[in-house]
Chains A and B, each alone.
Chain A
Amino acid sequence: MKIVVAIKQVPIRDSQLRVASDGKWIEESDLSFEINEPDAYALEEALQLKERHGGEVVALCAGPARAAQTIREALAKGADRAIHIEEENLKTLDTLGVARLLAGALRDENPDLILTGLQSDDLGYGQTGVVLAELLGIPHSTIIMQVEKLNGSIRVKRELEDGWFQHIEIPLPAVLTVQSGINKLRYATLMGIKKAKTKEIRRVTLAELGAAPAATAIIERIYLPQKSKQTQIFEGDAKTAAAKLVEKLKFEVRVI
Chain B
Amino acid sequence: MSILVALEQQAGKWRAMSWETLAAGQQLGAAMNLPVIAAVAGSGVEGLAKEAAAKKCAKVYAVDHDLLKEYTADGFTAAFEALVRKVNPTLVLLPHTYQVRDFAPKLATRFNQVLVSDVIGTRMESGFPVFVRLLFQGKLNGDVRVSGGGPYFASLQAGAWRADSLEAGSAEVETLSPELDASKIRQKPEAPFRESARAVDLTAAEIIVSVGRGIKEKENIPVVEELAKALGGELAASRPICDAGWLPMERQVGSSGQTVAPKVYMAVGISGAIQHLVGMKGAKTIVAINKDANAPIFEVADYGIVGDLFEVVPALVEEVKKAKA
A143 with B98, Cβ < 8 A, contacts A19-B140, A216-B114 known:
yes
Q: Is A187 an interface residue (CB 8 A)?
A: no
A26 & B117 in contact (Cβ 8 Å cutoff): no
In the complex, what residue of chain B is closest to A163 when comparing beta carbons? B194
Residues A218 and B73 in contact, CB atoms below 8 Å apart: no
With a cutoff of 8 Å between Cβ atoms, the chain A residues found around residue B101 in the complex are: 126-127, 142-143
Contacts of A135 in B (CB 8 A): 109
Distance of A226 Cα from B300 Cα, bound (Å): 10
From A124, A163, A164, A217, residue with most partner B Cβ within 10 Å: A217
Interface range for B:
35 or more
A99-B259 Cα distance, complex, nearest whole Å: 34
Q: Is the CB of B288 within 8 A of A231?
A: yes
Size category of the binding interface on chain A: 35 or more
Interface-side segment among A68-76, A109-117, A168-176, A190-198: A168-176
Give the interface centre of B98, B207, B296 by most chain A CB atoms within 10 Å. B98
Taking the complex as formed, is B189 at the interface, i.e. its CB lies under 8 A from any CB of chain A? yes
Question: How far is B109's CA from A133's CA once the two chains are assembled, in angstroms?
Answer: 10
Chain B's nearest CB lies how many Å from the CB of A207? 22
Q: Which residue of B lies closest to A14 (CB)?
A: B292
Least CB distance, B45 to chain A, in whole angstroms: 19
Contact A233 B306, CB 8 Å, known A123-B135, A181-B242, A242-B315: yes
Is the Cβ of B264 less than 8 Å from the Cβ of A253?
A: yes
Does B226 have its Cβ within 8 Å of any Cβ on chain A?
no
Query: Nearest-CB distance from B5 to chain A (Å)?
Result: 20
The contact of A127 among B115, B146, B192, B244, by CB within 8 Å, is: B115
What is the 8 Å Cβ interface bit string for chain B, positions 18-42, against chain A (1 contact, 0 not)?
0000000000000000000000000
Q: Which A residues are CB-close (under 8 A) to B285?
A: 253
In the complex, which residues of chain A have a beta carbon less than 8 angstroms from the beta carbon of B308?
A: 238
* A217–B151 alpha-carbon span in the complex (Å): 12
Q: Are A181 and B299 in contact (CB under 8 A)?
A: no
Beyond A216-B148, A231-B304, is A124–B190 a contact (Cβ under 8 Å)? no
Q: How many A-B residue pairs have CB under 8 A?
A: 267
B137 touching A229, Cβ below 8 Å: no
Nearest neighbor of B120 in chain A, beta-carbon distance = A225
B264 lies within 8 A of A233 (CB):
no
Closest to A247 in B: B323
Q: Is A211 an interface residue (CB 8 A)?
A: no
Q: How far is the CA of A99 from the CA of B239 in the complex (A)?
A: 28
The docked-state distance in angstroms from the alpha carbon of A168 to that of B152 is: 30
Is A161 a contact of B294 with CB atoms below 8 Å?
no
Q: Which of B52-60, B166-174, B249-257 lies at the binding interface?
A: B249-257
Query: Which A residues lie at the B interface, using CB under 8 A?
Result: 11, 13-14, 16-17, 19, 26, 94-96, 99, 121-127, 130-131, 133-135, 139-143, 159-171, 174, 180-181, 213-229, 231-234, 237-239, 241-243, 245-250, 253, 255-256
Q: List 23 A-B contacts (CB under 8 A).
A: A17-B136, A26-B140, A96-B113, A125-B114, A139-B73, A140-B73, A161-B98, A165-B193, A169-B190, A180-B240, A180-B243, A213-B112, A216-B112, A216-B146, A221-B142, A229-B301, A242-B312, A243-B315, A245-B319, A246-B323, A247-B323, A249-B264, A253-B285
